[in-house]
Chain A
Amino acid sequence: MFRSLQDDDHDLVTLIVNDQPVNARKGQSVWSAMAVASQVVTRKAALSGEERSAYCAMGVCFECMVEIDGLPNQQACLRRVADGMSVATQDITENSEATDEGL
């Protein structure tokens, strides 16, 4: 079980994680807000559909990819919470190959 060691007198924001309102401290990562709210499933694996969750929390495993405000492939461990942000478990791993466009 994840919990926060911070006191309660911090600026809070409210985000929606899989249709549930979740309170989080301003500046917190989306992943840790999900973890404290016991919403640990970030995505479904590409082939098997198995549930996955954040592994490294530092941006190198890409297991924490969620949909944020409708945009897929957002790394929850790198993104910060914002008031009214909508986060959803990512069902399909789209664009699993990085695009070369623009280069």
Chain B
Amino acid sequence: MKAFDCAIIGAGPAGMSAAIELAQAGADVVVLDRADRAGGQIYRSAADSPLPDAAHLGPDYAAGADLIIRFEQSGATHLAGADVWHLGDDGRILFSYQGETREVHCREMLLCPGAMERPMPIPGWTLPGVMTAGAAQVMLKSDAVVADGAVFAGSGPLLYLIVAQYLRLGVQVAALVDTTPRQHFFDAAPLMPRALQQLGNLRKGLSLLREIRASGVATYRYAENLEVIGDDRATGLRFSASGQQHEVSADTVFLHHGVQPNLNMSRAMGLAHHWNSTQMCWQVTVDAFGQSSVPHVSVGGDGAGIIGADGARAAGRVAAQNILFRLGRISQADRDQSVRADLNDLSALKPFRRFIDCLYRPTEALRLPRDAETQVCRCEEQSLGDLRKGFEQGARDPNALKSLTRCGMGPCQGRQCGHVVAGLLAQWRAESPEEVGYYRLRSPQRLLTLDELGRYGSVSAGAAE
């Protein structure tokens, strides 16, 4: 089997941008993504939207179509619908493809798995009818499906974006319940002047809020003590705001308070990680070129720390140039020359990022559960009370707690509870999450059937489907 020069996991802005650079330089590159179309989260279905009028999604979304088309014409092999579940540091990648198991080999690996939404373990968050705001975004973009009369709760640009998109499309919104604390505005104010260098980005954010306000949708600010109401289905959201108790009826509740890198792949590979105390999440440790602790494995885009779509494009290109250098296709001087502009852009984005990270930093009240009955591990149904009991029985770190309570052992492999468990242990031990650590993960990163493993094939460079 002929190995690819480079395999990229994830066809979002980071992965697509990297693939274009690599393919242009003549490298044999394969891009694997579990979605059936290229685009990633932000540009999902941007090149062939099922919506009658996709212009309502905004100019950023429309801009994605161009990148997708360039990617598709780049000569990179795109395996759409390839769900990757094993990455070996020997360059072997195993994935599910149309119900079968497939394998590719590569010299260099670039992980661009993007982000997922930060879990929000409030009372009632496991009830049917409760979803993330990103879920609303995904259903809208890929299937043109919306929920009428939903309540949106939490904080951050992606929450305001989906509310604005719903309103433009004439979808009725019950309320926006904004949990951004008043204090965050004071904390973020000193960072504002430098963030102003990214005036365009700042304007975009402000205009979303203005748009929502002008629509007349009920908006509550500084909301606290969120609780989903309902017995076996969500029927609404209860919260307090400005010293008053409120209840909004809705059969769909969309929650959001920021995104965090998708870790399972880089964790299962044993790459070095560190705790990002600003974004309150773990991230893989990489150098300026995205190279991880294993030299032939690089990570780019939101998967290596949240930087947004523009940053992801730049990071993808930078990683690609470094990979070309590592493959011996360009000199170090050429690499340094090619990445200069993108590295400058990436540092120019930083003050804006810092401002956003400070203004919308996840509050402890939404990051960690409050009531003993609230589920932390959704798969194995382990509540805050169960975990606390485990801690008192001597489980001091995530892996010990996992063996004792089964938290993190279910099909999601800790994707939902990992950060919450680390946060709780950090609180109980009065130490930083860095000290507490994270679940030890292994391949495969998804449930597999024997049937699927039995149907096996490989994809060679130069002979891909």
Contact surface of A with B, Cβ cutoff 8 Å: 1-7, 25, 27-29, 31-32, 35-36, 40-41, 45-48, 50-63, 65, 71, 73, 77-78, 80, 93, 95-103
From A4, A58, A98, B41 is in contact (CB under 8 Å) with: A58
Q: Assuming the A-B contacts A40-B128, A93-B411, are A32 and B145 also in contact, with contact meaning beta carbons closer than 8 angstroms in the complex? A: yes
Q: How far is the CB of B284 from chain A (nearest CB, A)?
A: 17
Q: Is B144 on the interface with A (CB-CB < 8 A)?
A: yes
Query: How many residues of B are in contact with the other chain, CB < 8 A?
Result: 60
Assess A58 versus B134: contact at CB under 8 Å? Given A7-B52, A53-B128. yes
Q: Is the CB of A3 within 8 A of B138?
A: no
B218: shortest Cβ distance to chain A, in Å? 18
Of residues 75 to 98 in B, which have CB atoms within 8 Å of A's CB atoms?
A: 83, 86, 94
A50 touches B126 (CB 8 A): yes
17 contacts between A and B (CB under 8 A): A1-B147, A1-B251, A2-B147, A5-B52, A5-B146, A27-B36, A35-B145, A35-B147, A47-B380, A59-B34, A62-B379, A65-B411, A78-B83, A96-B379, A98-B445, A101-B448, A101-B450
List of A residues within 8 angstroms of B298 by Cβ: none
Interface: B50 (CB within 8 A): yes
- In the docked arrangement, what's the CA distance between A25 and B147, Å? 17
Given A1-B251, A5-B51, A55-B135: A61 and B412 interface contact (C-beta under 8 Å): yes
Q: Which of B232, B413, B448 has the most CB of A within 10 A?
A: B448
Q: Which of A2, A27, A95 contacts B145 (CB 8 A)?
A: A2
Query: Are B116 and A58 within 8 A (Cβ)?
Result: yes
Q: In this assembly, does B187 line the interface, its C-beta being within 8 Å of a C-beta of chain A?
A: no
Question: Does any Cβ of A come within 8 Å of B155's Cβ?
Answer: no
List the B residue with the shortest CB-CB distance to A6.
Answer: B144
CA distance A96 to B451 in the complex (A): 17
**Nearest residue in B to A95 (C-beta to C-beta)?**
B447
A78: which B residues are within 8 A, CB to CB? Answer: 34, 83
Q: Which partner residue on chain A sits nearest B453 by CB separation?
A: A102
The answer to whether A63 touches B378 (Cβ under 8 A) is yes
Shortest Cβ distance from residue A14 to the other chain B in the assembled complex, whole angstroms: 17
| Residues 262-318 (chain B) with a chain A CB within 8 angstroms | 262
CA distance A51 to B101 in the complex (A): 31
- Contact mask for chain B residues 433-465; partner A; CB cutoff 8 A; 1 contact, 0 none: 000000000111111111101000000000000
Q: Decide if B444 touches A29 in the complex (CB within 8 Å).
A: no
- CB-contact partner of B142 in A5, A29, A45, A102, under 8 A: A29
For B48, the closest partner residue in chain A by CB is A27
Q: Does B131 lie within 8 Å of A55, measured CB to CB?
A: yes
Q: Is the CB of A3 within 8 A of B262?
A: no
Question: Which residue of chain B has the shortest Cβ distance to A42 in the bound complex?
Answer: B128
Chain A residues near B52 (CB-CB < 8 A): 5-7
**B376 to A: closest C-beta gap in Å:** 13
CB <8 Å contact, B412 and A57: no
Contacts of B206 in A (CB 8 A): none
Nearest CB in chain B: distance from A88 CB, A: 16
Interface residues in B17-53 (C-beta closer than 8 Å to A): 34, 36, 41, 50-52
